[in-house]
């Protein structure tokens, strides 16, 4: 068997002896009926993964690249090594591989790891232009769960394989060693309760009128389907977000007053958004709670559990008819668990957040597409004056000539596109000290933008690049006498990308509209036989 492993596929060859000696083959690939999908790759003379396995390539009789010429439940195992990343319709491929595996058999899939093989955030792959997707362990398992009913299989092995990986090789050179994700699932017989789990939910309520969703029972049991017994009179809204995200939420917040005109509306938001919240004139009460930071790149690590406990102390003695979390990202959804509310609404699914009574399964568009955000900390800047602490650069008050560069950096490379460049620099009490800036590249020979510092340290400067830049440099120039001490915390460069779905402003408006519909309009009681 060891000699056989010298001729299997290129990637499987690296692990053949380990799998054989460690019992991996005995557990998952020992049957007489095994398929090796795409076994030969780009090489000639390659053998299937075991002596009894059938190597299936595009030249296999009866195989059209999509449908396998084998019956349902006919194989002990299907092995697909570094194949899935080349297939556009991954759902159909996984579904077809799983179809031919018998109950008790295994589907073994390996793909290159995004942060071991690809070592970049976005397509295209710099080492194989035919790669359709990048993978982490989570995304690979997610694709399998999309393609195959999760109740029909169990995960038996999931591994980031970096054995022999050389972490000293830079990302622009091909990796050495193992750099893959390995997933093994076992096909199981569908349990007797499978149909109940898969049943479509029916809208109904508990006896006190709280809106909820439960599986539809058999026809011999009637269901009372109603919404909340009355429109909510007390609503608490969480928008503990950064400055820009709060501004994007203002239309949805205005919709809240229209949706619940008689309700007492309470808002929980960060300290930097309290003033804007009061000026909006929508909320009867604003509670200050700074879970995040004013600007997203300055978050650091958030102890969410401790923060939620502190927030709970602020509202634990109060009761609300409705609690609504308007943050699109899922990290604050657990806050709703700790609020004494009859109805809880937010983004996500009931499977992910079972405490939600109203769940809108949408994601932030910034999580998809080509948009990106890069943060360059103070340690990536240099200065003629002051002290660099790594996390911040202190610039003392003094006299600085207007033609004298004070701070420069971060010398980063960015591709072509449209960006917003923002310096996080503050003086006393959050003021922006007087200075000038410019943005240059190619050793300072090409000036891309310049102006007063309140532009780049305020809303940021829009920068459009028609070609990639390897050494983007942001410089601060003195402007006469500065009487205040300044602190530079870094620079954010945000790239615009195509929106892959509704903008977050639209998503929040959808959530408000859905919540209003479910708790205000469905006031009738209906018995379903």
Q: Point out the least confidently predicted range of 189-193, 203-207, 355-359, 375-379.
A: 203-207
pLDDT-based confidence at 289, cuts 50/70/90? confident
Residues 378 and 390: beta-carbon distance below 8 Å: yes
Q: Looking only at Cα atoms, what is the longest distance across the chain?
A: 86
Tokens of 492: 């954010």
pLDDT-based confidence at 379, cuts 50/70/90? confident
User: Does the pLDDT value for residue 139 go beyond 50?
Assistant: yes
Q: What is the mean pLDDT of residues 498-502?
A: 58
Q: Is the dihedral of CA 229, 233, 239, 245 positive or negative?
A: positive
Residues 368 and 500: beta-carbon distance below 8 Å: yes
**3-state DSSP of 294-351:** CCHHHCCCCCHHHHHHHHHHHHCCCCEEEEEECCCCHHHHHHHHHCCEEEEEEECCCC
| pLDDT tens figures, 52-107 | 899 998 888 999 888 999 999 999 999 999 999 999 888 899 999 999 999 999 99
Q: Which domains does the chain have, with CATH numbers?
A: 4-187 (3.40.50.150), 201-367+503-528 (3.40.50.2000), 372-495 (2.60.120.260)
Find, among 425, 435, 433, 436, the residue nearest to 484 by Cα.
Answer: 433
In angstroms, the CA 327 to CA 240 distance is: 7
Query: In this structure, what DSSP letter does residue 261 have?
Result: T
Q: Is the peptide bond before 31 cis (omega within 30 degrees of 0)?
A: no
pLDDT at residue 440 in the model = 93
Determine how β-strand 264-269 pairs with β-strand 285-288: parallel
Q: CA separation (Å) from 429 to 295, 296, 485?
A: 16, 20, 10
Q: Where are the alpha helices (DSSP H) in 181-303?
A: 194-198, 243-248, 250-259, 274-280
User: Does the pLDDT value for residue 298 go beyond 50?
Assistant: no
453: part of which helix (H) or strand (E)?
helix 453-456
Q: What is the mean pLDDT of residues 268-285?
A: 90
Q: What is the C-alpha R_g of the chain?
A: 29
pLDDT at residue 144 in the model = 92
pLDDT at residue 303 in the model = 53
pLDDT at residue 161 in the model = 94
pLDDT-based confidence at 294, cuts 50/70/90? low
pTM for this one? 0.45
Determine how β-strand 180-187 pairs with β-strand 480-482: unpaired
pLDDT at residue 215 in the model = 43
| pLDDT tens figures, 469-493 | 999 999 998 876 566 788 888 898 8
Q: What is the mean pLDDT of residues 513-521?
A: 81
Q: Dihedrals φ, ψ of 387, to 5°? A: -125, 130
Residue written as token pair 């010429």? 69
In angstroms, the CA 453 to CA 225 distance is: 59
pLDDT at residue 226 in the model = 37
CA dihedral 300, 304, 309, 312 (to 10 degrees): 100
pLDDT-based confidence at 525, cuts 50/70/90? very low
pLDDT at residue 15 in the model = 86
pLDDT at residue 290 in the model = 78
Question: Checking phi first, is residue 300 left (phi over 0); if not, alpha (psi -120 to 50) or beta?
Answer: left
pLDDT-based confidence at 229, cuts 50/70/90? low
Q: What is the mean pLDDT of residues 495-510?
A: 75
Average pLDDT along the chain: 82
Find, among 511, 516, 488, the residue nearest to 425 by Cα.
Answer: 488
pLDDT at residue 165 in the model = 94
pLDDT at residue 237 in the model = 95
Q: Point out the least confidently predicted range of 53-57, 197-201, 334-338.
A: 197-201
Tally of CB atoms within 10 A around 165: 18
* Cα of 282 vs its chain's centroid, Å: 31
pLDDT-based confidence at 364, cuts 50/70/90? low
Q: What is the mean pLDDT of residues 458-478?
A: 88
Tokens of 48: 């299937």
pLDDT at residue 210 in the model = 44
pLDDT-based confidence at 164, cuts 50/70/90? very high
pLDDT-based confidence at 301, cuts 50/70/90? very low
pLDDT at residue 206 in the model = 43
Query: In this structure, what DSSP letter does residue 272 have?
Result: G
pLDDT at residue 369 in the model = 45
pLDDT at residue 136 in the model = 93
pLDDT-based confidence at 312, cuts 50/70/90? confident
| pLDDT tens figures, 18-50 | 898 899 989 999 889 999 998 776 667 788 888
User: Does the pLDDT value for residue 365 go beyond 80?
Assistant: no
Q: Where are the beta strands (DSSP E) in 162-301?
A: 180-187, 201-205, 211-215, 223-225, 234-239, 264-269, 285-288
């Amino acid at each position: 068997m060891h000699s056989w492993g010298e001729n299997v596929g290129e990637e499987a060859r690296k692990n053949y002896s380990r799998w054989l000696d460690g019992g991996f083959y005995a557990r998952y690939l020992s049957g007489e009926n095994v398929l090796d999908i795409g076994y030969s790759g780009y090489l000639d003379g390659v053998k299937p993964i075991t002596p009894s396995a059938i190597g299936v390539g595009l030249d296999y009789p009866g195989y059209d690249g999509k449908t396998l010429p084998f019956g349902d439940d006919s194989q002990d195992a299907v092995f697909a090594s570094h194949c899935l990343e080349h297939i556009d319709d991954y759902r159909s491929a996984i579904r077809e591989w799983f179809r031919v595996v018998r109950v008790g058999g295994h589907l073994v899939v390996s793909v290159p790891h995004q942060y071991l093989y690809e070592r970049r955030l976005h397509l295209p792959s710099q080492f194989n232009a035919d790669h359709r997707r990048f993978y982490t362990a989570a995304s690979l398992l997610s694709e399998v769960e999309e393609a195959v009913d999760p109740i029909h299989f169990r995960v038996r092995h999931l591994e980031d394989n970096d054995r022999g990986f050389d972490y000293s090789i830079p990302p622009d050179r091909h990796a050495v060693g193992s750099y893959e994700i390995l997933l093994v699932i076992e096909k199981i017989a569908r349990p007797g309760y499978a149909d109940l789990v898969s049943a479509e939910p029916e809208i109904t309520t508990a006896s006190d009128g709280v809106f909820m969703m439960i599986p539809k029972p058999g026809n011999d049991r009637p269901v009372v389907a109603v919404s909340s017994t009355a429109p909510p009179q007390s609503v608490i809204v969480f928008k503990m977000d950064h400055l820009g995200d709060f501004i994007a939420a203002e239309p949805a917040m205005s919709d809240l007053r229209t949706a619940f005109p008689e309700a007492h509306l309470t808002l929980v938001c960060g300290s930097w958004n309290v003033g804007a919240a009061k000026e909006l004139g929508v909320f009867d009460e604003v509670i200050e709670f700074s879970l995040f930071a004013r600007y997203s790149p300055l978050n650091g690590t958030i102890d969410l559990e401790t923060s939620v406990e502190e927030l709970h102390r602020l509202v634990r003695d109060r009761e609300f008819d409705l609690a609504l979390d308007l943050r699109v990202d899922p990290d604050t959804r657990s806050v709703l668990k700790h609020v004494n509310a009859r109805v809880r609404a937010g983004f996500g699914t009931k499977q992910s957040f079972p405490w939600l009574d109203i769940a809108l399964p949408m994601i932030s568009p910034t999580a998809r597409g080509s948009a990106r955000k890069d943060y360059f900390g103070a340690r990536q800047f240099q200065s003629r004056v002051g002290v660099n602490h790594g996390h911040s650069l202190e610039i003392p008050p003094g006299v600085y000539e207007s033609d004298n560069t004070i701070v420069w950096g971060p010398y980063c490379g960015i591709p072509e596109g449209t960006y917003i460049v923002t310096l996080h620099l503050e003086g006393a009490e959050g003021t922006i000290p007087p200075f000038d800036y410019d943005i240059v590249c190619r050793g300072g020979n090409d000036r891309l933008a310049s102006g007063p510092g309140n532009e780049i340290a305020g809303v940021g400067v829009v920068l459009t690049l028609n070609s990639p830049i390897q050494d983007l440099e942001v410089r601060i120039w003195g402007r006469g006498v500065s009487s205040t001490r300044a602190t530079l915390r870094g620079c954010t460069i945000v790239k615009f990308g195509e929106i892959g779905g509704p903008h977050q402003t639209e998503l929040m408006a959808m959530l408000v509209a859905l919540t209003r519909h479910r708790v205000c309009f469905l006031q009738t009681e209906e018995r379903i036989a």
